[in-house]
Chains A and B, each alone.
Chain A
């Protein structure tokens, strides 16, 4: 346990020292504030809906940015240390191998969570400053966006460790990480739409379609934030392909956790067998 915390602490300190934390926080805050301020233009500055608009904007931002940031943090975690020779030294210490991956995960997750909470939180602070009612029920959605964004980040961190454990070279890991990002964030939904159009909506049953949606962590995230709440569907229009998909928020949360646990477990399992 001590080793786990020591490694997590080391990652946090490293993130702080090499300015990663501050850069990520500023990036997320910059985008969140821009979207919030621009987003309030059509609805007027003081409106109940400006908060909802922000929630929708932030969740779209998350889908593009958070997986990218998480993969950048994690793709190097194992193979980079192998290549620099630091893993050899680390593993010569009295710790279990899962401590190494688990500690890195906790450290990177803390860094990512800090950047997300502070970055998106700044948008929330601006909204409060603009006079959005403090007990507006949509604050719950706002908090849910932040929380589930951290979960999405955790899923892509786990995927990144899996990539980093499998490859034999650092450059390969970087390539795969980019491919994974392109696939899950850009290509997947287009391919799914294309499939539906080509199919005319007949061949693919609803069950298959729903399963395909859950097979992408960013879609699970999207469903959770955009369709999971009453009133949200009206805003999201076509984004909510999911309008007819029937998932409870709890099951979507379960899927998000699955996207963390399975890759992380697999990465740990493979790492334990890896010959350094």
Chain B
């Protein structure tokens, strides 16, 4: 296991005595893509700012690429980082290319690479137009292009897919996956839960400044113990009989041919076997595992309850 590219250790942050982050510890390794999810004000942006060294933790420590991002070697750490802020805006009268040149200069990079980056985000044709003529999605892509300047080893992306259409979203995640293969650490803060759950390695759920859960989708499912939802289609009229034998399951809906129920994930095979044992023919079976939306809601509710 290599050393993590970014790490928070018991990090807390308060503004004028108001705590916005409580004792958060988590680390992301090279080549890992982690989603940071949570309601507005849950502390996602605060974590990004801490990692960028724009604010200092009230207690605990922050490390990025082996440096304290708010310390004296901050510039060293930031050379290896790319950042896309939640609301990205650029001087309206500059062209896309000029903006890229400006940021490349700040990152001590050659301009030549900018053409490739503008190509990657699909702005090659618009690069000599002024930014004020860009659509929201184009600005967002320009924001993404500047984050990729200088092949960063750590990418912090705050709501990266807002304003992107489905095709662009897919190509965005393709870009992220190829960066991951190169060993780049990616931290994504987003509300777009469904599009992330199959694409990220780990998910960190924040609520009210606390880290509520941190793990892979499978880990989270296991930990959350949310039931799986199963829909059985039986031969005519047998659904009612099947439902009677599904003790322990939470029957949600029965009509002539279908029965829909919730059950703990590990019991699902046992229940299905019981139905077939009483001679009901199962024509079709759909299993819906708890998705990130449901897990997320569970933790948000817990967050409410514990505060």
Contacts and interface: CB of A to CB of B under 8 A. Distances in A.
Contacts of B56: 275
B108 A2 contact: yes
Given A6-B106, A93-B78, A95-B106, A14 B91 contact: yes
B55 interface: yes
Nearest to B78: A94
A276 B102 CA distance: 21
A85 B140 CA distance: 13
B133 interface: no
Given A88-B54, A95-B75, A275-B55, A3 B106 contact: yes
A276 B49 CA distance: 8
Nearest to B89: A84
B85 A276 contact: no
Nearest to A10: B102
A168 interface: no
Contacts of B210: none
B76 A89 contact: no
B138 to A, nearest CB: 16
Contacts of B94: 13-14, 17
B75 A276 contact: no
B108 A92 contact: no
B271 to A, nearest CB: 52
Interface string A77-106: 000000011101111111110000000000
B55 A92 contact: no
A238 interface: no
Interface string A1-23: 01100110110011001100000
B102 A6 contact: yes
Most chain-B CB neighbours within 10 Å: which of A88, A91, A96?
A: A88
Contacts of A85: 85-89
Interface residues of B, number: 31
Contacts of A276: 49, 54-55
Interface in A149-187: none
Interface in B90-137: 90-91, 93-94, 98, 102-103, 105-108
Contacts of A13: 94, 98
B205 interface: no
Interface in B60-89: 74-76, 78-79, 81, 83, 85-89
Contact of A92 (B52, B86, B89, B105): B52
Contacts of B74: 94
Interface of B: 15, 49, 52, 54-56, 74-76, 78-79, 81, 83, 85-91, 93-94, 98, 102-103, 105-108, 143, 146
29 contacts: A2-B106, A3-B105, A3-B106, A6-B102, A6-B106, A9-B102, A13-B94, A17-B91, A18-B93, A84-B89, A85-B86, A85-B87, A85-B88, A85-B89, A86-B91, A90-B106, A91-B52, A91-B54, A92-B54, A92-B83, A92-B85, A93-B78, A93-B103, A93-B107, A94-B78, A94-B79, A94-B107, A94-B108, A95-B75
